[in-house]
Amino acid sequence: MLIVDRLSKVYDADGRRVEALADISFSVAEGEFACVVGPSGCGKTTLLRCLAGLLTPTSGTATVHGKLAVVFQEYGRSLFPWLRVRDNVGLPLKGLSKRESEAKVRDALEAVGLTDAAGAYPWQLSGGMQQRVAIARAIAYGPMVLLMDEPFAAVDAQTRADLEDLIRDVWHRLGVTLLFITHDIDESVYLGQRVIVLSAAPSRVAEDIIIDLPDERDQLTTRGDARFVELRGRVYAQIQKAKRGSTP
């Protein structure tokens, strides 16, 4: 699970003081799939970096219980260009026999549909495939908690739909706690069980919405569902309100 408690972050560089996160509190239960959405520049990535331990909060805490894996937005820069796909996926595996780690890598690549690309270098693959490799690496690592920072922001629309379904599939299979950060309202409603809406910087939690759509989702029927449209409208209204709130 994952707990954010009165988290704030102020950047202080060259005398310019930027307050990114004002006061954020929420928690994500074990095995839950939550999305964080907010207007651009609202400190979503700052929140993720605090959770991942890459950034020290100014005050408050961001705690992750259990082994953590992260999938970054910049897939092209988070894979090691000197390692082939299978070695990229296997790099974080430690304390396993060669057979065990090879089996893990194979399973992870199979889960993302990249069995054939095991011997390729990342830069030989398309953007969507590279992000699949990053997801496979996270799967093979066997995390309790998975953080994703706008992982599909830089891929084309069709690939994006495929990857969204892949992520739901992975979440079902692994039973991980998943926090998915996005700026895309549709995506946040389609993917998770819960949408946490942040206000514009300095951010607070504007609203925490339960997504009570059926667990079985698909791109066509779910997105056409009356309840989906209603929830999306609610998130959209919240974000508009959050934007206005910051510029009185």
Partner 1 sequence: MMRRIVVVLGLPVALVTVWWVASAGSTDFYRPSLQRIVQAFAETWFGPRLVEEALPSLIRLGLGYAIALTVGIAVGVAIGSSTRTRAVTEPVLEFLRAIPPPILVPIIMLFAGIGDAMKVIVIVLGCVWPILLNTVEGVRAIDEVLADTCRIYRVKPLRHLVLRAASPQIMTGARQALSVGIILMVISEMVAASSGLGFTVVQFQRGFQIPEMWSGVLLLGLIGVLLAGVFHLAERRILVWHHGSRDADRR
Block residue for tokens 């599939």: 169
State the residues that interact with partner 1 by CB under 8 A. 52-54, 68-70, 72, 74, 77-78, 80-83, 91-92, 94, 121, 123-124, 137, 141
Q: Which is nearer to partner 1, 16 or 77 (CB)?
A: 77
Say how far apart CA 163 and CA 114 lie, in whole Å: 13
Distance set, CA 85 to CA 75, 194, 206 (Å): 13, 33, 40
Q: Which is nearer to partner 1, 147 or 209 (CB)?
A: 147
CB of 229 to partner 1, least distance (A): 36
Q: Which is nearer to partner 1, 79 or 163 (CB)?
A: 79
CB of 45 to partner 1, least distance (A): 11
Q: Which is nearer to partner 1, 23 or 102 (CB)?
A: 102
CB of 150 to partner 1, least distance (A): 13
CB of 96 to partner 1, least distance (A): 14
Q: Which two tokens stand for residue 166?
A: 């892949």
Q: Is 143 helix (H, G, I), strand (E, B) or coil?
A: coil
Say how far apart CA 157 and CA 163 lie, in whole Å: 10
Distance set, CA 141 to CA 17, 70, 201 (Å): 38, 10, 33
Question: Per DSSP, which regions of 14-45 are E strands?
Answer: 16-28, 33-37
